């Protein structure tokens, strides 16, 4: 069974799956050990890893390199964040081929104009494509995929662009008509009211995807009562958790003038060896190095 087929099967089995953002093979391994259903190859997290804003500055090559590295260290299905598809519908054709070959089980394409600006930044430029042009991108993605289980997820930023629920519903329906398997609806409100309202108003047959970054109170129990949301993506928690831990640890080392205090509060190096599967390497050394 392909990872894409496993992703669909898991969604059918549990009705709601949990996808954790990953920006490295290490974060992917930890997400798998924690019990997540899949990984989000996040453009935001990778941009942050490079110390850059999420504004189409990371190239497709950089993102693909990291996706391949992640796919090589985990069995979890990977949902790839490909922003606007790196250009027009012709660019999308190339992108789908490359991402499917690299190990993605799904892609999310958003209806912003390239280059995009990250959705949650205050005062950010949020310009959307014409509906017909974005439909062309969806059609190109669907026509290009080789595995019929590979998911093409259309993300509408209509709520992010303050265009309202009616426009968001109109766009979502148009994207489903173009062949999208799922609709990702995004919001930057601090409460889940926009998402819950959209979910209740949505009558399309395609299930919904949400990214509860701005509205963390919308937990799985509440989501299940809505009935049509099948995927929750935790979009920036990996990089935020890593940055939180590093900031605190680095500051303590400077304040203490050494690691004499902080060392007992972080993972022992033996745990890193375990994650690296050092025992397997040692066994291979004993077997093959003469």
Residues forming the active site: 54
Q: Residues in the chain, how many?
A: 290
Dist CA 79 CA 77 (whole Å): 7
Dist CA 116 CA 57 (whole Å): 9
Do residues 111 and 141 lie in contact, with contact meaning Cβ atoms separated by under 8 Å? Answer: no
At which residue do the structure tokens 């799956």 appear?
Answer: 17
232 phi/psi in degrees, rounded to 5: -115, 125
At which residue do the structure tokens 């033996």 appear?
Answer: 270
**Positive or negative torsion for Cα 194, 159, 238, 224:** positive
Closest CA to 150 of 205, 202, 95, 223: 95
Dist CA 45 CA 64 (whole Å): 14
3-class DSSP state of 287: helix
Across the chain, which distance is largest between two alpha carbons, in Å? 70
285 phi/psi in degrees, rounded to 5: -60, -45
Do residues 176 and 169 lie in contact, with contact meaning Cβ atoms separated by under 8 Å? Answer: no
3-class DSSP state of 41: strand
């Amino acid at each position: 069974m392909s990872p894409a087929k496993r992703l669909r099967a898991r969604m059918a089995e549990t009705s709601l799956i949990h996808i954790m953002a990953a920006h490295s093979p290490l974060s992917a391994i930890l997400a798998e050990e924690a019990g997540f259903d899949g990984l989000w190859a996040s453009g935001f997290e990778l941009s942050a890893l490079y110390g850059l804003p999420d504004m189409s500055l990371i190239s497709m090559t950089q993102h693909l390199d990291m996706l391949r590295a992640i796919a090589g260290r985990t069995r979890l299905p990977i949902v790839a964040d490909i922003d606007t598809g790196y250009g027009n519908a012709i660019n999308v054709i190339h992108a789908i081929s490359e991402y499917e070959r690299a190990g993605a089980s799904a892609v999310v394409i958003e209806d912003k104009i390239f280059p995009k600006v990250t959705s949650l930044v205050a005062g950010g430029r949020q310009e959307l494509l014409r509906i017909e042009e974005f439909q062309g991108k969806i059609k190109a993605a669907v026509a290009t995929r080789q595995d019929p289980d590979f998911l093409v997820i259309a993300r509408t930023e209509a709520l992010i662009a303050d265009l309202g629920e009616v426009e968001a519903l109109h766009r979502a329906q148009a994207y489903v008509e173009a062949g999208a398997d799922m609709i990702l609806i995004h919001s930057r409100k601090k409460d889940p009211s926009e998402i819950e309202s959209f979910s209740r108003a949505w009558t399309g047959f395609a299930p919904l995807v949400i990214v509860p970054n701005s509205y963390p109170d919308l937990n799985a129990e509440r989501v299940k009562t809505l009935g049509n949301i099948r995927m929750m993506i935790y979009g920036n928690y990996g990089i935020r958790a890593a940055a939180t831990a590093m900031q605190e640890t680095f500051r303590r080392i400077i304040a203490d003038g050494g690691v004499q205090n902080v060392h007992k509060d972080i993972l022992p190096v033996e745990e890193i060896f375990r994650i690296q599967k050092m025992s397997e390497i040692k066994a291979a050394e004993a077997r093959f190095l003469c």
